[in-house]
């Protein structure tokens, strides 16, 4: 609230001062988590700012490529050092039967908050500048000369720690242009924040308590309960991450910014291919633009095998992006295998599974998508592959031994309310959008106060957003 009031008090005629305030607020926000990693954020911003300027000022393609690779090596090097170093050391020791520690000094520090998000965002900036050098000069993407604006683009606090992952072409111009105060936009921002908080605090955290209880002791529950826990986790991770996205987008609106949509009712998809176009949209788009398309188009002849190989590599990396664990790698590989199978012609048919799913009754395609995604959720949520094995063994043994519980009981009403509200208002970005056009003032404010009371009254001890760990 303090930043919001100060930001608009500065006045729309002083855009540079507003940007400085946003930059300071973003660094304070990030530094309050752990000030030691603030230097890493600043360094990544500075290196990519310089690299992009060097690419734009160089006429030789080889030199441009050198600056690009300096940016890529830095960003991927930071990711590897902080996020994946221990994973590779542990895997090396396990492969060769070495004892844990084996004389190595482990890099035993926390993963910097939002590392995977802001490194991808800033790295895409230099890649876009490099790519535009070989295109039509009229279509070139020119890097900014204003270092404050670029630093704001990288560290904008509403989406810094968990996205959406924004491209510079979309977000950077918003720092370069004048922002005008719009009361209606501020109202919309507050409504979207309120909806995101309700999804996170009332739904995701309630489901999380039940899911954690089962995953902490899978041997103690029967097959039905394990399946139920996986289903609950699917909705938990959706409400958690889409709730955060609503909060981020709503907060950005308060300051006159528009962030990219990151979720579009993914569980209403008719195929896994469609689901990945609706789930974490900005991440899927990033890997498509910077991994899949370059990999496929680099071949002299684009064949189905080449496309399948591109999907396998791309989604294995998507899984690995989520965390340094074999469970995430299998999450990506199983996703890739499903996407490849959906593109293959069915037996005695020219149609692919993906095409066939578009024509069958919707209930069957929805069931197919949710069953596959529930399996993927097991890899996503499990602590290790041993836990995955325990879950699968107990589920497919159809054992009734162990506790049977509804886990969450009447609180499932909150989840049902969320889902029905979002499906009924799917033409909007979120259910409370444009509410003044659909409900009388008394009813509208009754809805707002009811949501606020539920959030305050039934809030449990807070858990971090799931995607903060990535």
By annotation, the residues acting in catalysis are 322
- The CB density around residue 215, as the number of other CB atoms within 10 Å, is 19
Q: How many residues does the chain have?
A: 470
In 3D space, the residue among 354, 351, 319 whose CA is nearest the CA of residue 333 turns out to be: 319
Q: Do you find a cis peptide bond into 164, omega within 30 degrees of 0?
A: yes
Quote the distance between the C-alpha of residue 469 and its chain's center.
11
């Amino acid at each position: 609230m303090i930043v919001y009031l100060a930001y608009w008090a500065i006045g729309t005629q002083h855009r540079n001062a507003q940007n400085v305030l946003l930059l300071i607020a973003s660094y304070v926000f990030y530094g309050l988590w752990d000030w030691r990693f603030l230097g890493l954020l600043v360094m990544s911003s500075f290196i990519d700012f310089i690299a992009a300027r060097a690419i734009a000022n160089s006429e030789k393609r080889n030199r441009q490529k050198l600056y690009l690779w300096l940016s890529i090596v830095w960003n991927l090097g930071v990711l590897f050092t902080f996020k994946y170093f221990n994973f590779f050391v542990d895997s090396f020791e396990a492969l060769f039967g070495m004892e844990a520690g084996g004389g190595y000094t482990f890099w035993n520090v926390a993963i910097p908050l939002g590392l995977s998000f802001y490194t991808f965002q800033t790295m895409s900036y230099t890649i876009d500048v490099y790519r535009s050098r070989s295109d039509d000069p009229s279509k070139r993407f020119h890097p900014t000369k204003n270092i404050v604006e670029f630093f704001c683009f990288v560290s904008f606090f509403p989406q810094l720690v968990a996205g959406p992952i924004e491209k510079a072409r979309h977000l950077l111009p918003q720092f370069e242009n004048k922002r005008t105060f719009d009361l209606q936009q501020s109202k919309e921002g507050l409504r979207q924040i309120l909806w995101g908080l309700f999804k996170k605090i009332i739904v995701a955290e309630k489901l999380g308590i039940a899911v954690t209880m089962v995953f902490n002791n899978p041997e103690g529950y029967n097959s039905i309960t394990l399946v139920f826990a996986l289903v609950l986790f699917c909705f938990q991770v959706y409400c958690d991450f889409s709730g955060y996205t609503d909060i981020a987008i709503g907060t950005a609106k308060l300051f006159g910014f528009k962030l990219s949509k990151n979720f579009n009712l993914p569980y209403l998809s008719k195929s896994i291919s469609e689901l990945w176009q609706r789930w974490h949209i900005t991440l899927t788009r990033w890997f498509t633009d910077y991994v899949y398309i370059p990999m496929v188009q680099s071949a002299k002849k684009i064949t189905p095998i080449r496309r399948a190989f591109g999907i396998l590599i791309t989604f294995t990396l998507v899984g690995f992006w989520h965390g340094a664990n074999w469970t995430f790698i299998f999450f990506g590989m199983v996703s890739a295998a499903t996407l490849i199978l959906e593109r293959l012609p069915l037996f005695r048919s020219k149609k692919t599974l993906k095409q066939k799913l578009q024509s069958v009754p919707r209930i069957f395609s929805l069931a197919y998508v949710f069953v596959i995604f529930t399996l993927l959720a097991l890899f996503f949520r499990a602590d290790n592959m041993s836990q995955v094995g325990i879950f699968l063994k107990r589920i497919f043994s159809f054992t009734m031994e162990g506790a049977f519980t509804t886990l969450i009981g009447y609180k499932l009403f909150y989840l049902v309310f969320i889902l029905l509200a979002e499906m009924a208002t799917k033409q909007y970005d979120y259910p409370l959008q444009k509410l003044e056009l659909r409900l009388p003032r008394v009813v509208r404010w009754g809805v707002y106060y009811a949501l606020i009371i539920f959030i305050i009254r039934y809030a449990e001890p807070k858990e971090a957003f799931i995607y903060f760990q990535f």
